[in-house]
């Protein structure tokens, strides 16, 4: 009888350890090539389709590099594809099959150009000039046969411009639409047949009301756009917008004031951008800066990556900066899962290279960013879009946050308070990543079990000294005897 109970106990433990998604995790970083990502938050530098991953960047000589994995982004599966040519701030989208669309700023005349490849970057069509004057920060999206490119004019002109193709990039409509006479860092999103086009940007209007994030939309395939409306409460920059099936998702980087850490703010509309719900703070750091957000949408799931670092922009000495990820399983985006550390390689914020995130529906989540070399760094969670755990309960927490806004809707021009709920029972290790050992503040005398990425327990530790005897790598920490979500921690050399 005792033996039977032991078998049942072991079986239950194994089932717990191998529950799908419980230990699904980001893997070790892969250094792809010497290059940097786009400097535009509105750009996508990664594109996914089934088993293939495409990453674009710019090498030290100013040439666009395209890399492809045909084996789900696994290590040593990357090949260098044909370069479209010289350019800056590339934005890439992959359509059906192996059709790649890329928009970029030309190195010579400063204008925005577009190119297309129908064989996965093996060959490229001739460059097509999209802008009539110098521009920067191109953002692009593809919806059916409609290809949309949004960019901002270079100073002293300024302004947000839009142009589209209605035949998959073969030719472009003659007229360039002026969405706004001022602004920068644009982001564009469309879906389905491309009738509704959503755009966001940051900037200061002519009346000088500070830097804000602005939103506009077109309901006639980009022929006309509504007047821009501010979507933030405080000063804000670096918007990123995505759209699926009536849901518009918008994130930005708040700028609350000099010396006050920046936060990532999220806002959404559930009816094609007509009514917007309350803003949600997705970070809540009192000493660390959260910057450069980027979204990807897969069905009802929304994935976010961003960088967290120690000081503000323009650090004289590069500081440790880490890429983080959060996701939501709620179609409206009203509740989010815990933060996950993506990177074991620091990200470069000194030169302002935002990370990019891509997703394969029901499969993996991919991320790419730039380190200080600069080199393109890639990582993936192979099952990140398969199983996402249920949101934890609300209540007082200790720094890791689950943040949801009130479900009351607010009008397009109405500004409503940011609401948040802080997670109970969550764990926070410090430092994380760590070199020698980590601790759990406030739980130093409690016991923790540590697991590797395969779900194998590698040790039991007091909360005051965790992981001192394990090798560098990715691990998961669970409080013994308590039903808390596992915490991902990383030991580095």
387 and 447 share one domain: no
Nearest in space to 255 (alpha carbons), one of 265, 246, 266, 243: 265
345 and 440 share one domain: no
188 and 234 share one domain: yes
- Give the distance from CA 160 to its chain's centroid: 23
Structure tokens at 293: 């957000």
What pLDDT is attached to residue 176? 95
Local structure of residue 173 (DSSP, 8 states): -
What pLDDT is attached to residue 271? 93
Mean pLDDT on 454-463: 82
What pLDDT is attached to residue 220? 96
Question: Considering the chain, what is the average pLDDT of its residues?
Answer: 80
CATH number of the domain encompassing residue 79: 2.120.10.10
Tell me whether residue 424 is in a domain: no
Last residue of one domain, picked from the residues 375, 410, 445: 410
117 and 228 share one domain: yes
344 and 298 share one domain: yes
Nearest in space to 199 (alpha carbons), one of 284, 140, 135, 285: 140
Q: What is the pLDDT of residues 333-389, one digit of tens each?
A: 668 888 888 987 777 655 567 899 999 888 899 999 888 778 899 999 988 887 444
pTM of the model: 0.76
Nearest in space to 149 (alpha carbons), one of 125, 191, 114, 180: 114
Last residue of one domain, picked from the residues 410, 442, 470: 410
Stated as kind and residue range, the H or E segment containing 17 is helix 2-17
User: Residues for the chain: how many in total?
Assistant: 493
DSSP string, 149-162: EEEEEPTTT--EEE
Tell me whether residue 47 is in a domain: yes
Tell me whether residue 241 is in a domain: yes
Last residue of one domain, picked from the residues 354, 375, 410: 410
Tell me whether residue 382 is in a domain: yes
pLDDT band at 261 (very low <50, low <70, confident <90, very high): confident
114 and 236 share one domain: yes
Look at residue 23 and tell me whether its pLDDT is greater than 60. no
473 and 394 share one domain: no
What proportion of the chain, given as a percentage, has pLDDT over 70? 81
111 and 228 share one domain: yes
Tell me whether residue 469 is in a domain: yes
324 and 436 share one domain: no
**What SS3 state is found at 316?**
coil
What pLDDT is attached to residue 454? 58
What pLDDT is attached to residue 38? 80
Tell me whether residue 2 is in a domain: no
Tell me whether residue 418 is in a domain: no
51 and 91 share one domain: yes
Q: What is the pLDDT of residues 99-155, one digit of tens each?
A: 999 999 999 999 999 999 999 999 999 999 999 999 999 999 999 999 999 999 987
pLDDT band at 441 (very low <50, low <70, confident <90, very high): confident
What pLDDT is attached to residue 410? 24
356 and 443 share one domain: no
Report the domain count for the chain.
2
What pLDDT is attached to residue 67? 95
Tell me whether residue 1 is in a domain: no
In which domain, by residue range, is 449 found?
Answer: 430-491
pLDDT band at 484 (very low <50, low <70, confident <90, very high): low
Do the Cβ atoms of 303 and 325 come closer than 8 Å?
Answer: yes
174 CB contacts (<8 Å, ≥6 apart)?
A: none
321 and 438 share one domain: no
Structure tokens at 238: 């670096």
């Amino acid at each position: 009888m005792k033996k039977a109970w032991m078998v049942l106990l072991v079986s239950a433990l194994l089932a717990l350890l191998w529950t799908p998604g419980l230990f699904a995790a980001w893997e070790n970083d892969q250094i792809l090539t010497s290059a940097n990502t786009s400097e535009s938050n509105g750009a996508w530098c990664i594109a996914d389709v089934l088993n293939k991953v495409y990453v674009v960047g710019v090498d030290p000589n100013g040439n666009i590099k395209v890399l492809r994995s045909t084996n789900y982004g696994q290590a040593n599966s990357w090949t260098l594809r044909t370069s479209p040519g010289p350019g800056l701030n590339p934005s890439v989208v992959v359509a059906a099959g192996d059709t790649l669309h890329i928009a970029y700023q030309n190195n010579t005349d400063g204008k925005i150009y577009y190119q297309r490849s129908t064989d996965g970057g093996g060959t490229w069509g001739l460059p097509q000039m999209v802008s009539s004057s110098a521009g920067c920060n191109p953002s692009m999206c593809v919806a059916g046969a409609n290809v949309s490119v949004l960019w901002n004019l270079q100073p002293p002109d300024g302004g947000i411009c839009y142009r589209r193709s209605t035949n998959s990039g073969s030719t472009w409509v003659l007229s360039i639409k002026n969405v706004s006479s001022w602004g920068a860092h644009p982001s564009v999103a469309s879906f389905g047949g491309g009738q509704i086009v959503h755009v966001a940007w940051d900037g200061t209007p002519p009346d000088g009301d500070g830097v804000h994030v602005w939103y506009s939309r077109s309901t006639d395939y980009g022929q006309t756009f509504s007047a821009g409306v501010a979507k933030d409460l405080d000063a804000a920059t670096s918007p990123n917008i995505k759209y699926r099936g009536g849901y518009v998702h918008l994130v930005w980087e708040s700028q609350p004031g000099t010396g006050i850490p920046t936060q990532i703010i999220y806002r959404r509309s559930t009816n094609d951008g007509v009514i917007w719900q309350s803003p949600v703070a997705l970070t809540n750091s009192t000493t660390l800066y959260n910057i450069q957000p980027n979204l990807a949408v897969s069905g009802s799931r929304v994935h976010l990556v961003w960088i967290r670092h120690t000081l503000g922009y323009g650090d004289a000495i590069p500081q440790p900066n880490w890429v983080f990820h959060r996701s939501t399983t709620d179609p409206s985006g009203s509740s989010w899962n815990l933060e996950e550390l993506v990177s074991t390689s620091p990200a470069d914020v000194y030169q302002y290279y935002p990370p990019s995130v891509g997703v394969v529906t029901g499969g993996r989540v991919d991320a790419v960013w730039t380190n200080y070399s600069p080199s393109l760094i890639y990582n993936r969670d192979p099952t990140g879009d398969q199983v996402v755990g249920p949101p934890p309960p609300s209540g007082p927490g200790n720094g890791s946050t689950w943040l949801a806004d009130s479900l009351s809707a607010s009008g397009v021009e109405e500004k409503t308070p940011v609401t948040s709920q802080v997670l109970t029972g969550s764990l926070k290790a410090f430092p994380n990543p760590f070199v020698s050992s980590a601790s759990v503040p406030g739980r130093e005398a409690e016991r923790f079990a540590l697991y590797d990425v395969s779900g194998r327990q590698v040790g039991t530790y007091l909360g005051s000294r965790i992981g001192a005897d394990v090798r560098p790598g990715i691990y998961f920490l669970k409080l013994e005897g308590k039903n808390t979500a596992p915490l991902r921690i990383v030991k580095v050399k």
